[in-house]
């Protein structure tokens, strides 16, 4: 007997990193790694599930910045160059490890993996968004949108027109790419501020996700805790909240599955282990050692003494952990069903890149979870938020609390000593964008191009990723440079527009460089 629902949510996001002015660029590797280690492995899992007629339901956010990168011709060409280098390196590794059986087997495995990735990439016309669209059209995925450039809404409240621009631009892109209107949204960083749901309603969105305390600290207290959605007072937009128990079992490298000693060690890569002259053609062009994705060791323990990775042991562990996850959700659903006297919905959200990139066995684990749920039990059922709302249209009305899923649960990550300098500039730029829109309600020609580009630069500067990177202390110079460059380009456009003296040659150059959202309409910023 069905006693509850499981709502898997995979948040799929990368900041917009595209640098045509360079032959290759280190930070673009973020995209190439995610394609090879996460997106294509998941697509292959979905394809096999459909082939085997396994019914499943997953919810995925595909952020507008990621969709733009996956559909960009330049980045597609560069990915092919990237994967071809990995295929070449894995071939060299097969030869180098010919007298080391445990490593030779792994080298062959990587060669097959990279070759398969290239094949899948080409089969979807080099645009993986087409793959995810296919699974949505089949009814297996619910793809939700996000803020256009992942701007952090709780710190944008002084410039509400920017929140509207983030949402309207995102919805417009979604409709163009998927041929339908998005029904839900992953709020960037799960950041919610009371009243933001009104903006979601304006954009036609029906539901969003919050962290646990966003619902539990709401007013009045939710009758069913996080195990049923609520409607936001005034907007009737539904809010689903994260279940801490199921989430922690997966994302925690200490208490969760990914830390098992038999799984692949992320931090041992041949890009750092092998002789420099040998590995030099396959690392950064400026000579900096980087991860190649070829890793030969398992976690083993807390020491630096690592044993060779054994795929069969990892597969066994992934299968056992999948069975454990399903068992725990069954017991959880049974307990809650008796306690709250209705079928609970257990919302389990994760960064998609956890599966495959950080946790190599993650896609394998997810595949087994889905198969176990489909074949081996009838207590829990996979469901999407919209399906749940259609089955359960009556829900409590409350006002959720300010919240995020960042460290300590609020806005500390995105507003602290390392990054607070940004906001005076972002807010001022937002107010100036408002001014430009009011002064030019129906621009055309070069003026319209300049206004559209001004909005692009503002949106790119607003990405929460830059503040996050500065807070974590990695790639900080790059993040600060991105904010400054976009703000400065916005300010030049503002001055040129106000002076009626647009430098068209310069405008053409930055349109080519910062080409996100080609269909953008500057008038959404109001």
Hey, where are the domains in the chain? 4-145+182-408, 415-524
Look up 351 and say whether it is catalytic.
yes
CATH class of 4-145+182-408: alpha beta
Three-state secondary structure call for residue 258 = helix
Task: Give me the catalytic one of 28, 33, 72, 189.
Answer: 189
pLDDT of residue 355: 97
pLDDT of residue 205: 98
- Assigned token pair, 285: 């062009």
Is-contact 455 525, C-beta < 8 A?
yes
pLDDT of residue 405: 95
pLDDT per residue rounded down to tens, the chain (526 residues): 999 999 999 999 999 999 999 998 999 999 999 999 999 999 999 999 999 999 999 999 999 999 999 999 999 999 999 999 999 999 999 999 999 999 999 999 999 999 999 999 999 999 999 999 999 999 999 999 999 999 999 999 999 999 999 999 999 999 999 999 999 999 999 999 999 999 999 999 999 999 999 999 999 999 999 999 999 999 999 999 999 999 988 987 778 899 999 999 999 999 999 999 999 999 998 899 999 999 999 999 988 899 999 999 999 999 999 999 999 999 999 999 999 999 999 999 999 999 999 999 999 999 999 999 999 999 999 999 999 999 999 999 999 999 999 999 999 999 999 999 999 999 999 999 999 999 999 999 999 999 999 999 999 999 999 999 999 998 999 999 999 999 999 999 999 999 999 999 999 999 999 999 999 999 999 9
pLDDT of residue 472: 94
Is-contact 239 400, C-beta < 8 A?
yes
Look up 260 and say whether it is catalytic.
no
Look up residue 523 and give its DSSP letter.
Answer: G
Rounded to 10 degrees, what is the CA torsion of 370, 109, 135, 377?
-10
- Assigned token pair, 491: 């300010």
In this structure, the strands spanning 238-241 and 230-232 are antiparallel
What is the Cα–Cα distance from 419 to 512, expressed in whole angstroms? Answer: 28
Is-contact 338 16, C-beta < 8 A?
no
Largest CA distance in the chain: 72
pLDDT of residue 251: 82
First to last CA, the chain: 51
Task: Give me the catalytic one of 27, 47, 265, 351.
Answer: 351
> Is the sign of the CA dihedral 97, 98, 102, 106 positive or negative?
positive
Task: Assign a CATH topology to domain 415-524.
Answer: immunoglobulin/albumin-binding domain-like (1.20.1430)
What is the Cα–Cα distance from 371 to 54, expressed in whole angstroms? Answer: 7
What is the Cα–Cα distance from 18 to 473, expressed in whole angstroms? Answer: 22
> Is the sign of the CA dihedral 503, 509, 512, 513 positive or negative?
negative
The angle at the Cα of 422, spanning 419 to 426, to the nearest 5 degrees, equals: 150
pLDDT of residue 252: 79
Q: Is 34 exposed, middle or buried (0-12, 13-18, 19+ CB in 10 A)?
A: buried
Distances (CA, A) of 337 to 328, 374, 375: 14, 20, 22
């Amino acid at each position: 007997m069905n006693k509850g629902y499981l709502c898997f949510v995979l948040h799929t996001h990368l900041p917009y990193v595209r640098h045509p002015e360079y032959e290759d660029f280190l930070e673009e590797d973020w995209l190439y790694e995610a394609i090879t280690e996460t997106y294509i492995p998941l697509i292959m899992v979905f394809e096999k599930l459909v082939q085997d007629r396994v019914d499943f339901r997953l919810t995925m956010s595909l952020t507008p910045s990621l969709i733009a990168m996956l559909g960009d011709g330049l980045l597609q060409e560069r990915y092919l160059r990237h994967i071809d280098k990995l295929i070449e390196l894995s071939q060299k590794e097969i030869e180098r490890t010919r007298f080391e059986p445990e490593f030779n087997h792994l080298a062959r495995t990587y060669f097959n993996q990279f070759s398969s990735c290239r094949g899948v990439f080409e089969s979807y016309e080099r645009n993986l968004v087409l793959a995810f669209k296919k699974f949505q059209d089949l009814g297996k995925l619910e793809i939700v949108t996000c803020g256009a450039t992942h701007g952090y809404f709780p710190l944008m409240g002084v410039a509400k027109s920017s929140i509207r621009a983030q949402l309207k631009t995102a919805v417009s892109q979604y409709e163009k790419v998927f041929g339908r209107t998005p029904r839900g949204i992953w709020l960037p960083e799960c950041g919610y501020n009371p009243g933001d749901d009104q903006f979601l309603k304006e954009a036609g969105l029906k539901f969003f996700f919050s962290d646990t305390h966003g619902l539990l600290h709401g007013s009045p207290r939710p009758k069913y805790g996080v195990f049923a959605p609520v409607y936001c007072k005034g907007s009737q937009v539904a809010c689903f909240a994260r279940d801490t128990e199921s989430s922690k079992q997966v994302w925690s490298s200490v208490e969760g599955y990914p830390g098992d000693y038999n799984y692949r060690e992320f931090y041992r890569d041949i890009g750092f282990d092998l002789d420099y002259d040998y590995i030099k053609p396959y690392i950064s062009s400026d000579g900096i050692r980087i991860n190649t994705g070829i890793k030969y060791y398992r976690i083993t323990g807390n020491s630096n003494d690592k044993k060779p990775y054994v795929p069969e042991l990892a597969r066994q562990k992934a299968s056992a952990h999948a069975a454990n996850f399903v068992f725990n959700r069954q017991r959880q659903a049974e307990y809650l069903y008796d306690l709250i006297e209705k079928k609970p919905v257990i919302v389990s959200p994760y960064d998609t890149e956890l599966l495959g990139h950080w946790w190599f066995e993650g896609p394998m684990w997810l595949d087994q979870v889905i198969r176990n749920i489909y074949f081996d039990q009838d207590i829990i059922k996979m469901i999407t938020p919209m399906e749940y709302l259609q089955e359960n249209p009556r829900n409590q009305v409350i006002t959720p609390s300010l919240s995020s899923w960042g460290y300590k649960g609020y806005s500390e990550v995105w507003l602290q000593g390392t990054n607070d300098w940004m906001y005076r500039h972002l807010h001022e730029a937002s107010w100036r964008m408002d001014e430009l829109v009011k002064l030019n309600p129906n621009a055309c020609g070069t003026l319209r191009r300049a206004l559209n580009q001004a909005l692009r630069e503002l949106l790119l500067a607003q990405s929460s990723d830059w503040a996050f990177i500065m807070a974590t202390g990695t790639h900080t110079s790059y993040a600060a440079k991105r904010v400054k460059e976009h703000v400065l380009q916005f300010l030049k456009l503002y001055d040129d527009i106000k002076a009626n003296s647009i430098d068209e040659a310069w405008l053409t150059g930055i349109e080519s460089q910062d080409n996100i959202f080609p269909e953008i309409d500057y008038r959404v910023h109001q």
